[in-house]
Structure 1
Amino acid sequence: MKKTTNNRLSNKDLLPVEEGERTWKAVNFASIWMGCIHNIPTYATVGGLIAIGLSPWQVLAIIVTASLILFAAMALNGHAGTKYGLPFPVIIRASYGIYGANIPALLRAFTAIMWLGIQTFAGSTALHILLLNIWPGWGSLGGDWNLFGLHLPGFLSFIFFWGIHLLVLRHGMESIKKFEVWAGPLVYLVFGGMVWWAIDIAGGLGPIYSQPGKFHTFSETFWPFAAGVTGIIGIWATLILNIPDFTRFAASQKEQIRGQFYGLPGTFALFAFASITVTSGSQVAFGEPIWDVVEILARFDNPFVIALSVITLCIAAVSVNVAANIVSPAYDLANALPKYITFKRGGYLTAVLALFTIPWKLMESATNVYAFLGLIGGMLGPVAGVMMADYFIIRRRQLSVDDLYSENGQYTYYKGYNYRAFAATFLGAFISLIGMYVPALAGIYDISWFAGVLVSCLGYTTLMYIHPPYAKSAGRIVRERAAE
């Protein structure tokens, strides 16, 4: 395989992974999902579904449905990464063009940086509770000083917790792989303990799962159900795109598919059971469903329980941040400026930019989080639709690796940009987000991710067939394929 040295399009972190370095097994992918799923914002989203009136059984059905769809999307979009050893921003050069790929990649990076800030703040709130139990005077430190509403103790907790992420990045992807293997299973400790508490305080599972929802008929339940599925998928809309950043290290397609199946539907079902049980248990214990797991922890008076729970939640937050919100932006930023930014430098830059997202404003209520998730799904769904249409329908799983790094190859299109991909993306985003501004079409916004994927997939396929580009270096014309 030819490896280009053109530093406008590549560096050592963007080139295909060598066969000998593709060592990730099913357990590595499963452990990533075990760590990613068990996090505070996901718990808040599940709790929010209980809070809007869905029954525990309805929420469980939403989680199972969403996890199966996520597994299918991850396995499909991860195929090219495993087959060619390529990261996400390089793969999408095939559809968006060698330079045009930077636009969706940087959009994905921006979203991940926002999520990094949110997850870091969520973890820091748990750390803040631990410090309050160790040092009662911690909460009054700094007096009335605040930064956009966040007082000094909370800000210091945020900065300290943010710094932990930098330690995990020290040795690149190999250190991330080792961290996830033990971090994922460890997270089950705190959720297992909280499930035990919820069952005990509620007098068994019966009182928890017998709680009725306010939606009874199919017509009443359909849109809240669909919106719930979309909201859950919206959490992982970013990782659907950049799953090749991980599957490029897979030993085989079988390993990445098995690992994601074990880690996604299986782990997510257990997480759903834990989240629903604890949220519903809080309703029995306190008279109202508490969607914030940190707030529940704050009501305990056992310092040991608080310390163990907080440490585990912090590990969970670091786990999901590193896997979902640092790896991709690191590659995306490196792809934009490969001459100056390596994977590790991109990771550090991502962490710095996350400081300026002011995440405590985004996390003030479950409503804000939910709206943000819908917006993410609406914007990034179309990109996933274009990626899958290009790889599976247009290319039929065949990519010219050399041309992905060439300024004169078949993926150059017009000056490095493929207008077809952008037109399909904009159309998909418009359709999926129009419901935000046109009340009569609000139902489309409730399923924004699905609408965006479907519209962009069909739009891109149509444009590539009715106006196929000329493939310069491949010795053929894409038009020939369209005519087959």
Structure 2
Amino acid sequence: MTMADKAGDFSPGRTALIEESLLPTTLEQRSIGMWGYAWIFVGIAVIIATYSLGATGIQGGMDLATVALTILAANIVIGAVMTLTADIGTEHGLSFAVYLRAPFGVRGTHLPSISRGLVASMWFGIQTYLGALALNGIGEYFLGFENWVLWYALFCVVQVVNTAYGIRAVEKLAEFAAPAIIAISVWMYFTLDGVAQTKGLNIWTFTGTGQISLAVLFITNMGFWSTLAIDIPNLTRFVKPIPGTPRFFKRNRNIFLAQLVALPVTQALIAGIGAISFIAADNWNPVEVIQAQGQGVSLLVLLALVVLAQWSTNNSANLIPAALTFVNLAPRVVNYRVGVVLAGIAGTLCFPWLILNNLFVFLGYYGAFLSAIGGIVIADYYVLRRRRLNVPALYDMTGPFRYTAGFNVPALLAWLVAGGIAAWFVQYAFVIGLPLGFVFYLVLMKTVVLPRAPQPEMAPGATGFLATTVGRSWVHEGDGRFALHDHGDGVEREDL
């Protein structure tokens, strides 16, 4: 089952808000188990840019153990934030862009969601460019042929085609790539340690001469995955939940290994390898360090690492989120596969080879505004709606999420103000933007919006707007009509 045909034999008519890949996934359509989801996160965490995080800590005067533990702790925290937003996918089967129609409006959703989609596309371009450079180096060594543009085009096409086949293709790649990535990373650790020893350096006691605080390194690492933290429902809507239970930890148990173990441990390992590379050769990029010394088998190992790392991150963390935001922007003309192609094109047109020169400046400012979205989503889902959601209204242009001509202006104002303040203090963006977005949104909704336009799922005693918790799924029955279906038992509640 691909994302393009996830609704089975039913093909809903397209409207301004409905396209097949934007519909809620049913419980039967969620096929990814605990280990499959964990493998996906191992692949997500291994990107070349991660190496520079570890090197930054060493340069700043920390030892390797301190760097690794700081990065581990930061990613446990961001993983915990992900578990909050992940419930949108496991409870209601919704993608990130569709859920944003609730706080921002059926048209207002496009501003924050496309912001995330463009960042994801840019990351795809960056990752593909780094992979192309490595492929070009290997091609030059083995074939005597050098043309990174050609390698970029080929690598781009392969990734787009793989992702276009849907979530099962993504999961199968992860099942193969993740164990290989772990094995290759361990090999890199020992290789780089050997390089350091030949220079008389102890990787565990070496420290740089700079100064960086633990807080800055910690927050920088949190901001690294702030984008994924807000749009994780794009993936969790395909993870098997435990239906029929109000207990959060039981219902979502298949996501914890990935987000609280696989992500932090893999991120710490990869950043640690970057730190060791800097110690051994004054270069944070271990691919370049080993490539400069290696030949034959070692180059083939590097090729496997670079290709698998960039590929496994791009399809799940970049292409899928970007594609769904493009579909959400124009459901009448863009389906999932077209969205994936558009994401690949957008990622290339952003000239990633230029962004790479100022990567962390770019990440800091974009992360500031995206962190504010995270605060708004958490406030909306948990505080205002108490996880109850009027899903049919998300697909109704004239319903309660129309607000003012489709825009919830107070929510957009909360986002821009909170994001702007976070950007002003960019080093601490994530820990400023998220709580400010949370507070500003709640205040404006309770004082400006809800007194004039109350929403039914927020009413006391509203119990008909839960899905997985009560063992049901949202199903589109055509013509904009939705029903809650019992798990395998037929219709329980119609025409909500």
Q: TM-score, normalised by structure 1?
A: 0.85
Matching of residue 432 in structure 1 with residue 422 in structure 2: yes
Shift of 1:262: 4.0
Shift of 1:353: 1.5
Match of 1:302 among 278, 295, 303: 295
- What is the 5 A alignment of 1:391-402? 391-402=381-392
- What is the 5 A alignment of 1:18-167? 18-136=26-144, 138-139=145-146, 153-167=147-161
Q: Distance in 1 between matches of 2:77 and 2:420?
A: 23
Shift of 1:305: 0.9
Aligned residue pairs, count: 444
Q: Distance in 2 between matches of 1:255 and 1:26?
A: 12
Q: Distance in 1 between matches of 2:148 and 2:454?
A: 56
CA RMSD of aligned residues (A): 2.6
Q: Secondary structure at the match of 2:397?
A: coil
Shift of 1:413: 1.4
CA offset digits 1:152-174 (Å, max 9, x no partner): x2222222221221231342222
- Residue range with higher mean Cα deviation, 23-32 or 4-13: 4-13
- Asked whether the 8 Å contact 2:241–2:254 carries over to 1, the reply is no
Match of 2:234 among 236, 245, 252: 245
- Residue range with higher mean Cα deviation, 49-58 or 21-30: 49-58
Q: Distance in 1 between matches of 2:395 and 2:314?
A: 29
Shift of 1:295: 1.2
Q: Distance in 1 between matches of 2:180 and 2:441?
A: 43
Q: Which residue of 1 aligns with 2:8?
A: none
Q: Which residue of 1 aligns with 2:378?
A: 388
- Residue range with higher mean Cα deviation, 32-41 or 247-256: 247-256
Match of 1:232 among 221, 224, 232: 221
- Asked whether the 8 Å contact 1:330–1:346 carries over to 2, the reply is yes
Match of 1:175 among 169, 176, 190: 169
- Asked whether the 8 Å contact 2:228–2:317 carries over to 1, the reply is yes
| CA shift in 2, pair 1:373/1:109, >3 Å | same
CA offset digits 1:282-327 (Å, max 9, x no partner): 533x3x2x11132113212321111122122211101101111100
Q: Distance in 1 between matches of 2:456 and 2:316?
A: 39
CA offset digits 1:1-54 (Å, max 9, x no partner): xx9856111111111112211222111221111001111111223223323433
Match of 1:207 among 202, 210, 216: 202
* Larger relative helix fraction: 1
CA offset digits 1:239-297 (Å, max 9, x no partner): 1121101111122164755434345434533442454245325533x3x2x11132113
Letter in 2 for 1:451: I
Letter in 2 for 1:10: I
| CA shift in 2, pair 1:265/1:36, >3 Å | same
- Asked whether the 8 Å contact 1:31–1:180 carries over to 2, the reply is yes
Q: Distance in 2 between matches of 1:6 and 1:271?
A: 40
Q: Which residue of 1 aligns with 2:265?
A: 269
Q: Distance in 1 between matches of 2:120 and 2:91?
A: 25
Q: Distance in 1 between matches of 2:189 and 2:456?
A: 61
Matching of residue 198 in structure 1 with residue 192 in structure 2: yes
Q: Distance in 1 between matches of 2:276 and 2:306?
A: 20
Q: Secondary structure at the match of 1:164?
A: helix
| CA shift in 2, pair 1:479/1:101, >3 Å | farther
CA offset digits 1:321-349 (Å, max 9, x no partner): 11111001111111110111111110111
Q: Distance in 1 between matches of 2:238 and 2:454?
A: 28
Q: Which residue of 2 aligns with 1:372?
A: 362
Q: Distance in 2 between matches of 1:51 and 1:206?
A: 15
- Asked whether the 8 Å contact 1:411–1:471 carries over to 2, the reply is no
Matching of residue 316 in structure 1 with residue 309 in structure 2: yes
Match of 2:350 among 357, 360, 369: 357
Letter in 2 for 1:341: V
Any stretches of 5+ residues in structure 1 without a counterpart? 140-152, 435-443
| CA shift in 2, pair 1:475/1:159, >3 Å | closer
CA offset digits 1:400-440 (Å, max 9, x no partner): 11111112222221121111211110111111112xxxxxx
- Counting aligned pairs with the same residue, the percent is 24
Letter in 1 for 2:117: A
CA offset digits 1:130-177 (Å, max 9, x no partner): 1121023x24xxxxxxxxxxxxx2222222221221231342222112
- Asked whether the 8 Å contact 2:22–2:98 carries over to 1, the reply is yes
Q: Secondary structure at the match of 2:449?
A: coil
Matching of residue 414 in structure 1 with residue 404 in structure 2: yes
Q: Which residue of 2 aligns with 1:447?
A: 428
Q: Distance in 2 between matches of 1:120 and 1:49?
A: 26
Q: Distance in 2 between matches of 1:37 and 1:94?
A: 30
| CA shift in 2, pair 1:475/1:65, >3 Å | closer
Shift of 1:199: 2.7
- Asked whether the 8 Å contact 2:46–2:270 carries over to 1, the reply is no
| CA shift in 2, pair 1:213/1:96, >3 Å | same
- Asked whether the 8 Å contact 2:51–2:270 carries over to 1, the reply is no
Q: Secondary structure at the match of 1:211?
A: coil
